[in-house]
Chain A
Amino acid sequence: DIQMTQSPSTLSAYVGDRVTITCRASQSISDWLAWYQQKPGKAPKLLIYKASTLETGVPSRFSGSGSGTEFTLTISSLQPDDFATYYCQEYESYSWLTFGGGTKVEIK
C-alpha cells in the first residue's frame, strides 16, 4: 500500500502569509494527487487534482506542484476563510486510494 505523509501536522500563520504544505508518497505516484480543504463538521472540498490543476471555483491563491513522491500545496496569501485542515490524496492505483494524515492551518 502507498503511504502518504504530510508535514507539518499543524501550522500557525497570520492572514496574508504565504503558506506551504508538503505531502510525500512512499513510492512514485506520478502526478495522481489531489488536495482537499476541510472545515469542522463539513465534508472535504476538492481544491486541486492531478497535482496542479485547480478545481473550478477555487481561488487562484491556491496552487499545487510536484510529481513522483514529493508534492506541495501553497496558499499565496492566507485569508481568514482558509483556516482549516488540508489533506492530500493519491490515486495512482486503479483500485484504491489513500489520504494523508492532514495539516491543520491555525491563526497565529
Chain B
Amino acid sequence: EPEVTQTPSHQVTQMGQEVILRCVPISNHLYFYWYRQILGQKVEFLVSFYNNEISEKSEIFDDQFSVERPDGSNFTLKIRSTKLEDSAMYFCASSEAPYARETQYFGPGTRLLVL
C-alpha cells in the first residue's frame, strides 16, 4: 500500500540553525500538508500546499517557515532560524482531494529537537 515517507526520522540542531524536513507524498496525491505535535500536546495544522503554492496556513506558520516542492516527488518544510519552541514532531500528509473531504495520509514524522 502506498505511504507517505519522511526523512530524517530524528534531527537535533542548535538554536538559530536552519533545518529542512523532507517528505515524499503518495504519488497520485495533489494536496500536501505539514502538521506538528509538541510533546504531549495536540497535532496542529501548519500549512497546506497545492499546485505549487500555499493554499492555507496557520498563525504558527510565520516568516521563519517555508515550504517547497522542488521536484515531482519531494515536499519540504524549511525552518530558517530554529527556536527552542520549534522542538516537536513534524508530520507530512497528503490527500487526493482538498478541503479535508477525503482522508489525509500521514507520514511517520520527523522528531526535531532544538538545543
Tell me if chain B binds chain A: no
Residue numbers of A with Cβ under 8 A of B are none
